[in-house]
Amino acid sequence: MAETITIAPVTRIEGHAKITIHLDDAGQVADARFHVTEFRGFEKFCLGRSYEEMPSITERICGICPVSHALAAAKAGDALKGVKIPPAAVKLRRLMHCAQLVQSHALSFFLLSGPDLLLGMESDPHQRNLIGLIKALPQVAREGIRLRQYGQEVIRLLGDRSVHPAWAVSGGVREPLSPDQRDRIAVGLPEALATAQKALQLGSEALERMTEETRCYGNFPSLFLGLVNGDGGLEHYDGTLRIVDAAGACLEDRFDPARYAEIFGEAEESWSYLKFPYYKPRGHDTDAGMYRVGPLARLNVADHAATPLAGEELQRFRRFGEAGGPVWGSFYYHQARLIELLFCLESMAALLDDPELLDTHVRSHARTNNRSGIGVVEAPRGVLFHEYRVDDHGLLNYVNLIIATGHNNRAMNHTVRQIARHYLRGGKLEEGLLNRVEHGIRCYDPCLSCSTHALGKMPLRMELYGPHGELLDSLTRGS
């Protein structure tokens, strides 16, 4: 008897989505789908606007990673003007981007996934949230909140606001950094670094406890995409694209991000508003063109991490790889995120020691010299593309955005299917199953809009229906 289980909404992610699990006549999982149920429309309502407005407009796409959108938009504006921005502006952009990665990764580990990783996947659902984490592990929760606060404070010091700062502009940044601001940022670094190292230990302990999860939470072969710097190292702000396959063989290297449309396409499905990007040389009709982005992919494509502590952690991380190659399991996204967090804090320390960071020349001025511009950065969740085309007046007549979460869409669908097949037995609905399927999505830390259900109290109902629409079983959480 064919049946469908619906989980809606998915909690403790940024945005709104649901999951459906489809059972065949034998009661086995035939398919599972991750449905993004919201529609934003930024690509359309930006048409006719000046590209100079885009850093401020597009950062409203998200309240968690607005800096990435602002920087991608500003870099696209740099390309439209055809300017090379001042060195101090590059370093300031890098500094703010590192701060955003710190606050976003801290949010993901401590607030969104921490209740599962530190309290247990099948712990009491009324306690498996931030409030429960504060009660059970008050010091850990406090340090995690302060770590995120530090990243937010750095963004505020640079851009006047911690969310949606009006700071990145085409040609550079709005204002230089003062010595006092630099010193205030530097004061908080030691505590942030200490917390990041504690988090890495907590993540390692979770991996030791959750061996079953590492085997079945998105553990499958795929391609991996990320930016690398000039010597193949871990990169977040600039660089070139690299794609490796499941065995680690390089399919694309030193590929100019401005040529992204040559190798990436976007497919659509009727049951989700989120597109399905794919690697064109392998097509979208099979899984051969599926790839993953984000912290796991970035560590898989990078030859090394340039900072000492993160470099050591990356070498330890390699042991989780398949036959000496890339790490496949999506459950390892959590640990990869923590390694990146450490890398960003070390990178911030190096930037703060650079006297050029205080240079007051932070913006190059020019008119529009090109009709198209592409800006690319590594957002916390993966590679982010902004492509703009303008008319003679600098007004937008084409906008294409490939959001980091979109790259992972096919992989997220594979992950929920794999988890459901492993844990769903006899068609019986259990709280542990519900949370495990949701957590498969949390591994990717998807960013679907500006909202986040960080407290884990979002009402949730999972239903099991028969082939004629009759309700066979249900499970409710929240109120």
Helices 431-442 & 409-423, crossing angle to 10 degrees?
Answer: 160
pLDDT tens, 247-279?
A: 999 999 999 999 999 999 988 777 676 778 999
- How many CA atoms are closer than 13 Å to the CA of 215, on its beta-carbon side? 8
Cβ(346)–Cβ(309) below 8 Å: yes
Long-range contacts at 280-287 (CB < 8 A, ≥ 24 apart): 281/251, 282/223, 287/222, 287/410, 287/414
Q: For residue 125, what is the DSSP state?
A: T
- Average pLDDT of the chain? 88
What are the tokens at 194? Answer: 């200490």
Contact predicate 445/13, CB 8 Å = yes
Encode pLDDT of 409-440 as tens digits. 889 888 988 988 888 766 666 777 778 888 88
Q: What is the pLDDT of residue 436?
A: 87
Torsion of CA 81, 87, 90, 95, to 10 degrees: -160
Which pLDDT tens digits describe the chain residue by residue (479 residues)? 456 667 665 655 555 667 777 777 766 777 776 766 555 577 888 999 999 999 999 888 877 789 999 999 999 999 999 999 999 999 999 999 999 999 999 999 999 999 999 999 888 888 888 899 999 999 999 999 999 999 999 999 999 888 889 899 999 999 999 999 999 999 999 999 999 999 999 999 999 999 999 999 999 999 999 999 999 999 999 999 999 999 999 999 999 999 999 999 988 777 676 778 999 999 988 889 999 999 999 999 999 999 999 999 999 999 999 888 999 999 999 999 999 999 999 999 999 999 999 999 999 999 999 999 999 999 999 999 999 999 999 999 999 988 888 899 889 888 988 988 888 766 666 777 778 888 888 899 987 542 222 333 334 455 555 555 556 666 565 44
Tokens matching residue 298:
């970035």
Output the pLDDT for position 274.
75
> What are the residues whose beta carbons fall under 8 Å from the beta carbon of 460, sequence distance 6 or more?
7, 8, 9, 11, 434, 476, 477, 478
Asked if 32 and 3 touch (Cβ cutoff 8 Å), the reply is no
Beta bridge partners of 18: 35
Scored b (16 or more CB within 10 A) or e, 9-18 reads bbbbbbbbbb
348-365 pLDDT tens trace:
999 999 999 999 999 999
Report d(CA 387, CA 377) in Å as an integer: 12
B/e letters for 362-390, b = 16+ CB within 10 Å, e = fewer, are: bbbeeebeeeebbbbbbbbbbbbbbbbbb
